A and B are shown apart, each in its own frame.
Chain A
Amino acid sequence: MIDRTLSIGERATPEIKPSRNGLRLAVLRAFLASVLALLVRFPFALLFLEGVELLPPQWDGGPGLCHLPSCRTGADEVLSARRWHPAMDPVFLSRVQFGLTIAFHYIYPPLSIGLGGMLVIMESLYVKTRNPLYQQLTRFWVRIFALTFALGVASGVVMEFQFGTNWAMYSRFVGDVFGSALAAEGIFAFFLESGFLALLLFGWDKLGPRMHLFSTTMVALGAHFSAIWIVVADSWMQTPAGFHVVEAALRRRAEITDFWAVVFNPSSVVRLAHTLVGAWSAAAFFVLSVSAYYLLKRRHQEFARASMQIALIVALVASLGSLVTGHSSGLVVAQHQPAKLAAMEAHFPAAAPAGMYLFGWVKEDEQRVIGSSIPGMLSLLARGDASAPVTGLSAFPPQDRPPVQPVFQSFHAMVAIGMALIALALLGAIFLWWLGTLHQTRWLLWLFVFAVAGPQLANQLGWFTAEVGRQPWIVYGVMRTTEGLSRAVTAGQVLGSLVLFTLIYLLLFVLFIFLLDQKIRHGPLADDLEVAYRRR
């Protein structure tokens, strides 16, 4: 929205080679045309899919809790007894849709949260030093922030509505407890974010530097508040507290008994901390990546050095913070969700000391893992004693076990990426502050360019570990995922909406990458150095 070069047109875009950009645009146009053509036609097909029951009518909604091929539990007999492919089960389809929409959405909020915080740092530096370079930093990263924020808003509306559309029975059961957190998120976070975003983006010439910095701070705060409430809501599903189950006239439901116990349920604070440092890490490595790219291309070097310095500090703090908060989070899991912990390390014996795998492949049939492990490490971390027994999967009836392989693999991949990011941030710090040669160390700069994917992947994998590890429960120990599904919705409908969302998100992702790429190629503008604020 702030691309002055594009809006006015006369300032050309010297850094993009026209011939290569022309090809890029032609490819983009062809892609957009084909996806839009599909999208325009598909809703009509959707209407006819509505009546389609992909499962035999006698199916009663349960207990098909486990759908992934790798997930071997007692539900298998039920699945194989069906005439239809298990993937065409509305529970499975709804889970895939929920996973897809959240995973896509969750590319953007971490960037908004972390970038929001870094914008506050950059603009504060400007207000304090009045060095135009910091204003240039702020203005460039605001443009990137605006893009990620817009995608976050567009994909975020879906979140609020699909508890009702796909998980109506869940909504009926938990609305009394869970709904308040979502409503509070709207009142306290979204209004703050969206209101002050207007001032952040369009208020440069209407506000003085201090008031503008205040708006930036409010936007960043709003983004953090929204993380607070949604993580509280999600943590309540992991470690429910502050409620009791009441037999109402029609059905059971959870009712709140202690609001603060809901908000400060056993896992909410540690999970919030882990989520926020993950978000900061995502944004810091993003800024590092772009800065390193500029340094490699020898463009905007002063700008890139300043950005890199700020981002490296944040990256260092956030990646080390991920380790600390991740460990605390693990302790809470060990205490409150032993089945999840057992799945994370594929620990089968009911009660035995457990090691920690560096990597491995779970052989669920043989109840063992092929890989290399540090003996006693899990016992040490979870219980403080390398020979202390840890509850294993055998302690749980098969229908109460989460799928092991996906949880194990995503957890270990997350940890590995997290460790690599710490190493990278430390290397960067050594080369920048001790050796002073970071800006010339091309191999390290290239590593930083590609490291942008690291925190994004780790965030997704961590979320996947947390939510798949909670299975087969939608509210841990209280309500099963299969019980939460909407009854008025057919598999055909969900399949239709899933295809629709997949197409739309593919389109949006390609557009996001394209526009981001264009913005990065344009780089910071010389005008960004002129005073942008309202002059007295």
Chain B
Amino acid sequence: MSALFDLPVIWYGLVGVLLIGYAFLDGFDLGVGALHLFTRKDEHRRLMLNSIGPVWDGNEVWLVTGGGALFAAFPEVYATVFSGFYLAMILLLFALIFRAVAIEFRSKQTMAWWRRMWDVSFGVASVLCSLLLGVAFGNIVWGIPLDAQREFTGTFWSLLNPFALGVGVTTVALFMMHGAIYTVLKNEGELQAVARGWVNNTIIFFVICYGITTMATLVYVPHMVRHIQAYPVLFVLPLLTMLAIANIPREIHHGRDFAAFLSSGAAIAGLMSLVGIGMFPYLVLARPDPSLSLTVYNAASSPKTLTIMLIIAAIGVPLVLAYTSSIYYIFRGKTKLDPMSY
């Protein structure tokens, strides 16, 4: 167990925490983006946009910081994945740019064509972001072709294998479910009633995707469960994840929207932890020859850097958590449109 106190292992965990934080937080605003095209009313769209208005930018910072942490702690992984997935990364950047400006620009003009253009941009970019992040994750789980120099030898098309696409669609479904619950939580009246319908549909959509992806994982990528086979106590985690997912419709049914939102967040955290445990100690699995893989050890920065980064994180993270939570607290309650809104 001493391996758990290794610096690279700690950083494997911390990068994981950053990515979970990203999925939990940006997950709902990506979901809101994907869902807002399902309502045609300008007022509803504005309410949805404003429910994420004050927080989406901070949520995206989790991705940027996750990228920075990956660069600092595992430069080989950062380099291999980002250059290997070149076109996918460019499309992701493209989507992130359009999301950001769509939110900002939409309310600046009242013309119908103007708003429609930014609504479509926001919706499509949100779905594309979720899908690409999911596909990237799927490929890392599935394994990607690497050479001895740790360079990706596949093509963009080889990233679009059925398993990775399945994970991508599951991610879209998960974020849509998360976003639908957030919309219920942050709104009232007519929009809330509409969003309750979305919650039901997205839960069904997600559970189907989740079931298929889980089966595909068990059948085609059995290496993901070898740690759970070896340490049966870890089975608690998939169990808890499933309970969290099952708890979502229950809480919604009882009208406890915040509990449902937390459950859906717990499901995200559980699923991502399962991926993290399943992958360990691999960060990027090489296929077909696993000996070329990037692991926690052969891809890490020097212990000195990892220690410095740990100090930076120890100073920075409590501060970030403190003011992020106060900001969520200040903006608590139902979204109201006022003259300052988007």
Which A residues lie at the B interface, using CB under 8 A? 1-4, 6-9, 25, 29, 32, 36, 43, 46-47, 50-51, 146-147, 150-151, 153-155, 157-158, 160-161, 163-166, 168-169, 171-172, 174-180, 182-188, 190-192, 194-199, 201-207, 246, 249-250, 253, 255-257, 259, 486-489, 493, 496-497, 500, 504, 508, 511, 515, 518, 527
Contact = CB atoms under 8 A, between A and B. Distances in A.
Given A198-B58, A508-B101, A169 B79 contact: yes
A153 B108 contact: no
The winner among A168, A489, A497 for most chain B CB atoms within 10 A is A168
A311 B312 CA distance: 36
Interface string B296-331: 001001101100110011001101100110010011
A192 B323 contact: yes
A255 B305 contact: yes
A205 B338 contact: yes
Contact of B316 (A188, A201, A250, A488): A188
A246 B301 CA distance: 12
Nearest to A190: B61
B225 interface: no
A163 B55 CA distance: 27
The B contact surface, by secondary structure, is: helix
A225 B124 CA distance: 33
B53 interface: yes
Interface in B51-102: 53-55, 57-58, 60-61, 63-65, 67-69, 71-76, 78-84, 86-87, 89-94, 96-97, 100-101
Q: Which 5 A-B pairs have the closest CB atoms?
A: A175-B75, A164-B82, A179-B72, A186-B65, A187-B316
Interface stretch (B110-118, B168-176, B207-215, B248-256): B110-118
B82 to A, nearest CB: 3
B39 interface: no
B291 interface: no
B101 to A, nearest CB: 5
A29 B109 CA distance: 12
A515 B105 contact: yes
Given A6-B107, A180-B312, A161 B68 contact: no
A191 B65 contact: yes
B340 A4 contact: yes
Nearest to A176: B301
Interface of B: 46, 53-55, 57-58, 60-61, 63-65, 67-69, 71-76, 78-84, 86-87, 89-94, 96-97, 100-101, 103-105, 107-111, 113, 117, 149-153, 155-157, 298, 301-302, 304-305, 308-309, 312-313, 316-317, 319-320, 323-324, 327, 330-331, 337-342
A3 B107 contact: yes
A160 B92 CA distance: 13
19 contacts: A1-B53, A1-B104, A1-B342, A46-B87, A150-B100, A160-B71, A168-B79, A175-B72, A175-B79, A178-B71, A183-B68, A191-B65, A194-B60, A195-B58, A203-B330, A205-B338, A255-B301, A488-B151, A508-B97
A201 B53 CA distance: 10
A146 B155 CA distance: 40
Contacts of A515: 105, 108
A43 B91 contact: yes
Contacts of A488: 80, 83-84, 86, 151-153
Contacts of B97: 154-155, 157-158, 504, 508
Given A175-B78, A256-B304, A160 B108 contact: no
A32 B117 contact: yes
Nearest to B82: A164
Contacts of B83: 164-166, 168, 486-489
Contact of B57 (A8, A153, A155): A153
